[in-house]
Structure 1
Amino acid sequence: MSLPGIPDYPLPRSLPQTRAPFTLDPARAALLIHDMQAYFCAAYGEGALTRPTSALSQAVEAIGRLAQAARRAGVPVFYTAQKGNQFRPDRGLQADLWGAGMKAQPEHEEIIAPLAPQEGDITLVKHRYSAFQRSNLAPLMRARGRDQLLITGIYAHIGCLATATEAFQRDIEPFFVADALADFSEDWHRRALDWVADCSGVPVLAQDMVATLEGQA
């Protein structure tokens, strides 16, 4: 019922063909950095942040570049973060699949240092797989005139995929940044990309999104 240990794997660099015609516009976009907390990152093993072959270190580098480009471009940066010691009825069915979850201590709750939120970024409390559930992500985006969402973080086939699905259902265009996501395995990662490409959004690469944010595309 706890998180699995995650082996190193190469992040996907080839993208599936998407059915969606969406094109990123920095004036309409927001960036989501999803669940990059120490508790979830620990599943990649000790030293994963500095091990070039780990999916985590590869994704963190890409997320960092995207976050810097977004802030320079005036694109809102949102984070999700769960709280530890969740009240069992409030945690709901997640407890049946994943156990009690993280503890209310910095070693679990804090967003990892390389991606720590900066002044002006917005951190939302995470309650369910989707970042939209029981949060004010959608109204905060609407207030800023944003109807596109760059999705990064962990885990690609769980919360990130659920967020892309709900974004689509809210008429928010999802951009699923393939090499700024990490997952349980390469197979799960590719399945998530395939599902988004077929049903909800556009799988993209970080370098292309950085170029667009910086006005170079």
Structure 2
Amino acid sequence: MALPTIPDYPLPTNLPAPRAPYALQPGRAALLIHDMQRYFCAAYGPDALERDASPLAQAAQGIARIAAAARVAGMPVFYTAQKGDQFRPDRGLQADLWGPGMQAIPEHEAIIAPLAPEAGDITLVKHRYSAFQRSNLERLLRARGRDQLVITGIYAHIGCLATAAEAFQRDVEPFFVADALADFSRERHEMAVNWVASCAGVPLSVAQATARIEGA
């Protein structure tokens, strides 16, 4: 039930054409940095951030670039982060698939250093795959006049995909930044990007996302 050991793989670069006509508009958008905690990132290996071939290193660099542009543009920046030592009934069915999860220690709970939250960023407590579940993410978006969500982080085919699907169902336009995400494998990563393109939102590259944010 533990997380797998994740091998290196190149992030997707050939993005599928989306069904959705959405165009990223920084004045309507917020950035989500999803589950970039040390516990989840450890699956990529102890030196993953130093290995250029690691999907974690590639994604972290892309996330940092988008986050820097988003903050300059005045876009809200949200993080999700689980708490350690979750009460078993609160953890729910996730315990059946993934076991007890992380401990309440900084080595598990902390966001990795290259992506540490800055002043003004908002960290949401994560309870389920989707960032919208048992959180006030939607209310915080609406209060800020935001109806677009730029999704980055890990893992693409689990929480990131679930968040994109739920954003769409809540009339929040999702943008899925393929090379600012990481996953268990290239195959699952591409599956997530293809699903979003066909059913919910718009895949983007880091270059495309930052160009839209900086250009505005």
* Band of TM-score, shorter chain: over 0.9
Which residue in the other structure is 1:43 paired with? 43
Match of 1:20 in 2: 20
Q: Distance in 2 between matches of 1:118 and 1:125?
A: 17
Give the equivalent residue in structure 1 for 2:123. Answer: 123
SS at structure 2 position matched to 1:40 = helix
Q: Whole-Å Cα distance in 1 between the matches of residues 48 and 177 of structure 2?
A: 20
Alignment match, 1:94: 94
Question: 1:46 offset after TM fit, Å?
Answer: 1.5
1:181 is aligned to 181
Identify which range, 207-216 or 146-155, moves more after superposition. 207-216
Q: CA deviation at 1:215?
A: 1.2
Shift of 1:156: 0.1
Number of equivalent positions? 216
Letter in 1 for 2:142: R
SS at match of 1:142: helix
Q: Where in structure 1 do 4 or more consecutive aligned residues deviate above 6 Å?
A: none
Give secondary structure in 1 for the equivalent of 2:181.
strand
Per-residue deviation, residues 58-93 of structure 1 (Å, max 9, x unmatched): 000000000000000000000000000000011000
Map 1:48-127 → 2, pairs under 5 A? 48-127=48-127
CA displacement 1:173-202 (0-9 Å, x = unmatched)? 000000000000000000000100110000
Unaligned runs of 5+ in 1: none
Deviations 1:90-125 (A, max 9, x none): 100000000000000000000000000000000000
Q: Secondary structure at the match of 2:215?
A: coil
Quote the Cα distance in structure 2 between the aligned partners of 1:48 and 1:42.
8
Residues in 2 aligned to 1:26 and 1:107: alpha-carbon distance in whole angstroms:
34
Q: Which residue of 2 aligns with 1:7?
A: 7
Letter matched to residue 198 of structure 1: S
Q: 1:113-192, aligned counterparts within 5 Å?
A: 113-192=113-192
Backbone CA RMSD of aligned residues: 0.6
- Counterpart Cα distance in 1 of 2:80 and 2:187: 25
Work out the CA distance in 2 between the residues paired with 1:98 and 1:125.
Answer: 18
Equivalent position SS for 1:43? helix
Give a deviation string over 1:140-183, Cα, whole Å, max 9, x none. Answer: 00000000000000000000000000000000000000000000
Q: Counterpart amino acid of 2:82?
A: Q
Q: What CA distance in whole angstroms lies between the structure 1 residues aligned with 2:200 and 2:193?
A: 10
Matches within 5 A, 1:27-38: 27-38=27-38
Relative to the length of structure 2, the TM-score reads: 0.99
Alpha-carbon distance between aligned partners in 2 of 1:129 and 1:197, rounded to the nearest angstrom: 19
